[in-house]
């Protein structure tokens, strides 16, 4: 077989793979059943189909032609991607904000500020990763993130490619930084910590109501708006759809993911059980989010995590387990009495007994928190 025929065969195989991926995209993007969101999913599927069939390289950057010029420097980075800013151009699709102010002559002066977006730029496919798995991971994140419409969840706007052929997710930009930076500054008041915590719970409650669990809740994935009042959940790279819209019962999630200090004990346990059993054990992903949210609250109060990991090999976690039922874990003594009561409920080592997000929100102390402060 000639080199040309080999290439044709490879291209046809890749096209079939991509068509299968588009079908996967359409079936995966079913978190919500609204007609508006179905239209968005169909549009994203059409875009991806065109994008994959024409290849990664393009003479024109869809990202920059549609949104503007990428700014220098990275504002965030992770294992699979980094984040940069882009300032919107004068294209009529995108919003510009008008600000009115008085001049010295009491005349109204109008200035227009361009919209700034955050762009998550994905690293190119690794050699060891198949094209299908790479696209599945990327598309799952986009489909889940773009279906979320809640004041405490980051707004995901678009999926495009740049001039280098990298896939990019365009999101709203929160100029207040992340909660990790706010904790490091050590300027959080008790009312502000409680407000952020309740907003985190409200965002998770919305996610869980749609059958989605985040699975990587940590201060770095909680962004603040420009005035520092509103908290928004971001980064759905390892989020899991545990219950489709047409299903009556949820399924157990699988896979080890998250950041060590925020991972629930049952996620570590699943790895240990696999070593001794051929059966596939899973965990309730919503309860994993509950655990992580409690650790975030403790981080705000204690300026650090309770233990390195919720494993019995960790001496601090062993101390926590011994003190759990007597409610005598020393680090938690720094919390208020009300806070200690619900934090212990959220950090129950047994996931079946651990309180749920709706139950936490129904606690009178949480209900009375004013998020407008």
Residues tagged active-site: 216
CB atoms under 10 Å from CB of 232, counted, come to 23
H helix intervals, the chain: 3-28, 35-53, 62-67, 131-146, 179-185, 190-209, 265-274, 285-302, 315-324, 337-346, 357-361, 364-367
Token pair 């420009």 is found at: 226
> How distant, in Å, are the alpha carbons of 49, 53, 132, 212, 240 from that of 15?
9, 6, 11, 30, 27
Cβ distance 70 to 85 under 8 Å?
A: yes
3-state helix, strand, coil in the chain (%, to 5): 45, 15, 40
Helix extents (H) in 29-170: 35-53, 62-67, 131-146
Q: Measuring CA to CA, which residue among 163, 186, 174, 160 is closest to residue 51? A: 160
Among candidate residues 206, 200, 210, 191, the one with its CA nearest the CA of residue 143: 210
SS3 at position 365: helix
Helix (H) / strand (E) containing 172: strand 167-172
* Exposure letters 342-358 (e unless 16+ CB within 10 A, then b): bbbbbbbbebeebbbbe
Q: Are 121 and 82 in contact (CB under 8 A)?
A: yes
Start-to-end CA span in the chain (Å):
71
Question: How does DSSP classify residue 156?
Answer: E
Using CA atoms, how far apart are residues 29 and 141, in angstroms rounded to an integer?
Answer: 10
- Distance (Å) of CA 69 to CA 65, 105, 117: 8, 36, 11
């Amino acid at each position: 077989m000639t080199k040309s025929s080999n290439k044709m065969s490879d291209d046809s195989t890749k096209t079939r793979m991509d068509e299968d991926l588009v079908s996967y995209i359409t079936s995966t993007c079913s978190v919500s059943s609204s007609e508006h969101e179905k239209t968005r999913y169909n549009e994203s599927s059409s875009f991806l189909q065109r994008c994959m069939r024409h290849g990664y390289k393009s003479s024109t950057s869809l990202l920059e032609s549609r949104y503007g010029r990428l700014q220098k420097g990275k504002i965030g980075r992770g294992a699979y991607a980094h984040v940069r800013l882009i300032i919107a151009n004068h294209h009529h699709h995108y919003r510009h904000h008008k600000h009115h102010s008085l001049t010295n002559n009491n005349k109204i002066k109008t200035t227009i500020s361009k919209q700034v977006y955050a762009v998550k730029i994905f690293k190119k496919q690794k050699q060891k990763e198949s094209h299908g798995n790479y696209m599945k991971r990327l598309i799952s994140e986009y489909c889940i993130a773009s279906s979320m419409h809640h004041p405490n969840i980051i707004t995901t706007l678009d999926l495009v490619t740049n001039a280098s052929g990298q896939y990019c997710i365009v999101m709203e930009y929160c100029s207040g930084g992340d909660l990790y930076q706010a904790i490091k500054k050590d300027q959080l008041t008790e009312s502000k910590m409680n407000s952020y915590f309740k907003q985190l719970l409200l965002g998770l409650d919305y996610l869980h109501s749609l059958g989605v669990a985040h699975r990587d809740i940590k201060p770095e994935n909680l962004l603040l708006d420009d005035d520092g009042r509103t908290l928004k959940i971001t980064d759905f790279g390892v989020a899991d759809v545990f219950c489709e819209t047409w299903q009556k019962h949820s399924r157990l999630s699988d896979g080890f993911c998250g950041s060590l200090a925020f991972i629930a004990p049952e996620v570590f346990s699943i790895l240990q059980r696999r070593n001794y059993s051929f059966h596939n054990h899973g965990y309730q992903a919503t309860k994993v989010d509950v655990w992580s949210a409690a650790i975030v609250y403790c981080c705000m109060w204690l300026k650090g995590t309770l233990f390195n990991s919720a494993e019995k090999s960790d001496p601090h976690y062993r101390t926590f387990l011994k003190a759990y039922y007597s409610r005598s874990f020393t680090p938690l003594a720094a919390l208020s009495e009300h806070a200690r009561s619900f934090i212990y409920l959220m950090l129950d080592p047994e996931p079946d007994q651990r309180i749920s997000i709706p139950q936490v929100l129904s606690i009178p102390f949480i209900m009375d928190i004013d998020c407008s402060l």
